[in-house]
Each structure stands twice: as structure tokens, then as C-alpha cells.
Amino acid sequence: MNLELKSSLTAIGVDHEFAVATGSHWEAGQGSLLRLSSPVDGSQLTEFHLATEAQAASAIGKAHLAFQTWRTIPAPRRGELVRRLGEVLRQHKSDLARIVSWEAGKIVQEALGEVQEMIDVCEFAVGLSRQLYGLTIASERPEHRLTEQWHPLGPVGIITAFNFPVAVWAWNAAIALVCGDSLIWKPSEKTPLCAMACQALFNQAASEMPDVPADLSTLVIGDASVGQRIASDTRVPLVSATGSIPMGKSVAQTVASRLGRSLLELGGNNAMIVAPSADMELALRAIVFAAVGTCGQRCTSLRRLIVQRSVADSLVERLQKTYSQLPIGNPLENSSLVGPLISGNAYQAMQQAIADAQAQGGNLVAGGERVVQDVPENGFYVQPAIIEIASHAPIVQQETFAPILYVIRYDELDEAIQIQNGVPQGLASAIFTSNVREAEYFCSAVGSDCGIANVNIGTSGAEIGGAFGGEKETGGGRESGSDSWKAYMRRCTNTINYSTELPLAQGIQFDV
């Protein structure tokens, strides 16, 4: 293991590699052996045994017991725990970011930004802990009060992906904790050290609060069978799962079979429309960050660039020039803007998608090849690709988790919106225009069908204050800001009769 990485793990409190963490207790896994390599240079980071389904069931049981106590703690006091979590994250921001870079391959700025996102959502949740409000509703019956309350829901299962190995956990954890829920976290097997670091930081935050029950946050590092075990357990009323569409469908079917709740954040296949009136300097910068940031491995990465025909040639030419100058290299060096793909499998998927696109009439106008000079050996560094292609090509319907940008030309705005909406996914979308009518039309009910519709800003880089999520095969879930907290609670409607009569609703007469 790299000495800098080891130093960061030690500073945070991760001195050993175990597969199960409940409270401050760490337990060795009893399943298959995981050997973990870094996408940065292919070096081995760690190896340990994964948790088994039986160990996952045990962790769920402990989280269920912790919930019995935590739900009785006043919400502002629950917010105090989250406030302390935000503080320890601030103290260890650079160490946690370094772990993210080594394990997920993110460049320094993006890794620091991801940890800052954790801090931001903690701040949001602390304020939320004093605003878990219900409604008072006008009753049709005299001397009756009709209200609704929101109560803690129960243990929340959190399944996360490699590309945001810490922030997505925090989105769920911070909100669920102030709502009165306990946590069971199954991270990606590609980023277990990030999860161990987060668990250690949570333990630090909880250690100074004697009213925090043991096992409030549990960590179970296992394979897909562990995720399914969490999804199938009736003691887990909500499962929040982030990852691929096939994974999400599998989890959703399992949860639905027991009539539980799913909160799904799945594939994106995001599009940006560039109109003739667009500020091209602004659009160019937004396109490049959205398309190549995290080496194209964000759920909000830009996949499809839908450009009005009159400006397409000049924009593609400028993109080609910019792509040729991208600083690609070791993500731990400040000069790098594009780091590696997560693995060799991701590289092969990228190459297959490029070949399929070319077979379907696409023209590779930039990139696509593996970078081998001035980058660490054994890392899968690639030149981001630009492919001009027709909107009806089958490959455009798919999301390849790699930096491939499909350029599609359009004539009229309605056509562009139809192309954008004509895919199974519906996460993020954007339009660049200086025409207020086009902007408003894009954001209207007949415009973008995505959960996120931006104007003059890219598809990637959402703030925590807004609800994050998408429609169609993206899963329909919403996390983080706005009123997303309601997914983590149960609603209870109360009717209080303070009269001496018993009138029935709808004027029903039933006198005995």
C-alpha cells in the first residue's frame, strides 16, 4: 500500500481491514477473498474477506435494535450528531479525499469537492433537524383538528457505487440520521477503504455522545448477494440504491416483493442542447467538464451533445482542439484534469462502445485510444472520445460509463427535445441558449423529461440544496435537498376530536 494512503487511513482511524463494522466494533469477513487494486497505477491496496449474507443479517438485527432507541431521541439532538460528523469531516477532508483519489481514481479537486459535499449535506441536515414539519388541515367537522406528523421510518439500507464512494453515503446518512433512522451501508467492492474511513469518522463523531446507541451505523462490505440480503429483509423498510440500471431493477424487484420502499439513483445518459444563440465560450467549458470530469464516470456525465446544425461544425472543431490539450494523468497530481478509468473492464467497455458506434455509422472525430505516456503504468488512462452519430443509432440509447461524447445535429428545438427525451434514462439535461423562450420551453412540462433540467450550466455538479434524482430508468428516487427527507420517514394523519359530539365525515348518519 502507498505510504501516503496508509498515512491517511491511519490518521482517520482505519488501522485494519475488516468487512463488517457495527458501532465501534470491527469484524473480519467470512466470505470470499477480495484483492483490491488502485485504478491510479494498478498497485495492490489491500485484501480481506468479504462479509457473508449471515453477517449482513446480523448487522441488520443490530441496526434494528439501535433504531428502537434512536427514534426516541429528539430530532435536534439527532442533528447534533450530524453536526459533529460534519466537524470531523472538515478535520480530515484532505485525508479522506486522498483515499478517494487512490481508490476511485478521482483527481484532487474532484475528491476534495466530494468530501465538501459531505460537509455541506451535514450542514443542511442539521438545519433540517428542527424543521421536520407536518401540516394542519382544515377539518370539515366542527371542533376537530386534522393534522399530519412525520415519524422515523426504521433502518435504512444504503447501497452505493464506486464513482461517488463517500458523498452518496452522506446524502443518505445525514438525512436519515436526523429523521431518526439507523443505517446499514453496503459500499461498492471497488471502494471499501473509503467506506471504512467514513465509518471510522462516524465513530469519532458518535463517541462523545453517550445517548447515541451502539450500532446506529453499520457497514457491511460484501458482494451482490449481501445487497440482495439487505433488500429482502423486512426489518429494512427503505433501501436506497445507487448504481447501474440492472442492479437497480434487481434491488427494486426484491424490495417490492415484500412491499418495501426503494429509492433508486441509476443510469443517466444525459444530454445537452446547444442552440444557435448560446454563449459558445460558456458552453464549451460546460461541455468539457461534464463530458470528461471523473473520466466520464459520473451518473450526470454528459453523453449526448445535441447541437443546432448551423453551429455544429465550429463547436466540434473547438472541442477537438480542447480535447487534444487535456491534461491526462495521475489524479493525485494537481496538474491533472482527467484521471483513469476504474478498471480494465471499463476500458474494454469503452472500446466496445466505440466499435459499435462506428459499425452503426458513427464517425470517431477525436480520442478513444489508451494513453500510455506520462501516466502511471498499469492504470487505464484514455483520451476522451468524440463521435458524430445519428440520433437513431442504437448505441445512443445506452450509457457507457466512460468519456464518450456523441454529437448529434438538429434543425428545430422540438426535434432536439425529442432526441433528448428519446432514451430510456432521465437523470440530467441542459440547454445553452440566450433565448428566454427556448429556456422556458425547455424547463416546461413539454420540455425536458429529466429530473434535472439546467439552463446555461452543464449536466454535472449538482448542489445539495436541491432534490437530486431522475425519471424513467434512472429510478425516480430523490436524495439530498428540498423535501427529499420525506422518503426517510413515515407519514401519520391524526384527527383529534375535542367536542362532545361524534360527527362522521361526508355527513354520514349512523346513530345507534
Q: How far apart are CA 204 and CA 66, in angstroms?
A: 17
- The one catalytic residue among 295, 299, 438, 479: 299
Q: Which of 403, 329, 412, 327 is nearest to 366 (CA)?
A: 403
Torsion of CA 223, 227, 230, 236, to 10 degrees: 140
Q: What is the DSSP string of 208-247?
A: T-TTSPTTSEEEE---HHHHHHHHH-TT--EEEEES-HHH
Q: Verify whether residue 265 is a known catalytic residue.
A: yes
Q: Give the total residue count for the chain.
A: 512
- Longest Cα–Cα distance in the chain: 90
Instruction: Give the DSSP letter of residue 267.
Output: -
Instruction: Give the DSSP letter of residue 264.
Output: E
Q: Are 167 and 117 in contact (CB under 8 A)?
A: yes
Q: Are 88 and 201 in contact (CB under 8 A)?
A: yes
Percentage helix, strand, coil, to 5, in the chain? 40, 20, 40
453 three-class SS: strand
Q: How far apart are CA 450 and CA 304, in angstroms?
A: 14
Q: Verify whether residue 299 is a known catalytic residue.
A: yes
* Sign of the four-CA dihedral 215, 92, 117, 336: negative
Q: How far apart are CA 475 and CA 425, in angstroms?
A: 9
Q: Which of 226, 166, 232, 218 is nearest to 32 (CA)?
A: 226
Q: How far apart are CA 268 and CA 399, in angstroms?
A: 7
Q: Are 226 and 50 in contact (CB under 8 A)?
A: yes
- The one catalytic residue among 110, 265, 438, 479: 265
The C-alpha angle with vertex 341 and arms to 337 and 344, in degrees rounded to 5, equals 155
289 three-class SS: helix
Active site residues: 265, 299
